[in-house]
Structure 1
Amino acid sequence: MIGKIITPVIKKRFSRDERNFYNTLSNGIDENLLYVLSWLKTHEAQELLDSEDEDEFDEAFMDTVLHAELNNRIQKNTLLGIKPLSKFYKVGSRLGHNQLRMPQTYTSEDQEALSILTDYVGDTIYSVNVDSCLNIKDILMAGALGAIALSSLSKKILESPYTVTPRSGATVDTRCTMITTTEYGRAVNTGLLQAYVNDGCYKVDIVTAGDDNVCDDCLEIEKNNPYTIEEAMGLLPVHSRCRCSYSRASHELIDPELMKGFVVNLTDNDYSLKDTSSPSGDFDFTMN
């Protein structure tokens, strides 16, 4: 299961914080799978697997303990997944203030930037958990309709994190890995850039990881340094698993009061997700 299997390549490339983040995401998926395997031994499971058509299965599934429990687990996994973001944000914030040799501050703008980040990443983690549970539902339905032998259900459920889902075009494991690298970097860079803003820095360079794995797009962006804060905010992350970061481009600082009210947003959202499918919302994955 994905919480126990981290390839040597992933171990080598992940920092300690990234590895812990990955484990938080994947262990939640693993716990869901173990719960479903245990549930398969119940009388309720047998009744559900006796369904004779899709409509009957869907109606019966909505009333199962399994359906209610998986909804609860989606919520729990999402909340656990976004918990480390504050720590990652503060890593970047501390780095930014230290680079500018300014005292540590935490402003209302920091609070808002972290809130935007948390809503965005929470929605991403929520989506992965929903798709994982929909995979499980699809496998159970296939078993009920005879497309999968009942004796193979447990194996299929355990393999589900590595099966490409039609809804995303990727496996759950791949998406957990992608979230780990992309969103860790987004969180650190958000804290870093907001620290620059708070301290009156108005121009930055975008810096690549500097190794043979850097893509042409990132190299081109680095080549065109420097950028204003607003320009730079719209560039990172360049792509999934982007490892680029920011660095101050000028030793001149302006009056921080001139930058007051500017909130860093490195997501592609210009709105809050709190009223839709955020961790405090409705997690009925059957409706997605």
Structure 2
Amino acid sequence: MPDETTEPPYRRIAADIRRRIAEGELVPGDRVPSTRKLAEQWGVALATATKALTELRLEGYVETRPRAGTVVAPRRRAAPEPPAAHRRPDGAGEADLTRERVVRAAIEIADTEGLAALSMRGVAARLGVAAMSPYRHVGGKGRLVSLMADAAYGELGYPDPPPPGWRARLELGARTLWRLHRRHPWLAHVSPLTRPLVLPNVLVHGEWLLAALEDRGLDAVTRMDVQLLVFTHVQGVAVTLEREAQAEAATGKTDDEWMDTQRSALGALAASGRYPSFARTLGALENGEYDLDLDALFDLGLTALLDGLAPRMERAARR
């Protein structure tokens, strides 16, 4: 058995997690430390931590779940895997590498670990290829993120013919974008609204929203503003999804666990008398607790947005 000083770091990390699973310290469904956490704990690069988790995933010890991260798998596969040194982590090698495989691997990393954990070396480690190989297919990280976004936005489309009425069409567009951001929360962090992604599949959604506003008596500036408002609403709520995952990875606490640490401070503020509306609202909540539901918040904002547009649409139609 290789000495610990000569064993590659990623294998030492994998061996430690295997031990923790075997001893019951980690049980099926438990979250395994993220690549960022492992990199900090072991003093290694993110790509090294990614390689360790990839090996464990292929061996059946763990599985990845979007936004949940890497968790202990329900059971290990019965069939033995070939030695790690003799296989590629995703079952293929350099000769089979394509742009599509690089983009898909990058999306899987971003979905599971967040966009901040994405690196070209990490993608190469996940694919089991040389560190520079992905560059030949996507150029660099900036280009890779654009390709990821284009692929993600292209996962959902729209019906033909569209539903009747501007409101139904705008609502469907907004809900389709929300579904995509729910699936890929990192999308909200790819680019600011002032510097939009000029990508075919992004424009598919813009085209859908703009078409809903045509022939309604609105000028071109207003049509652009409205479709950007829809994008802004989706991104504004969705940005919390990625930040939530980053905060949990950094602190090791879920949102509920973090709020538990803030209860005494909130109670003190409510009791101070300086914030009476806050105190009354907090007191009116069941058990004094507010459960943030992002889907409900999205629905509330979308309804308010569409209700606010309705009078303007009616006035424009009468002109």
Instruction: Tell me the TM-score normalised to structure 2 length.
Output: 0.28
Larger radius of gyration: 2
Instruction: For CA contacts below 8 A with separation 6 or more, give which structure has more relative contact order.
Output: 1
Instruction: Tell me the TM-score normalised to structure 1 length.
Output: 0.30
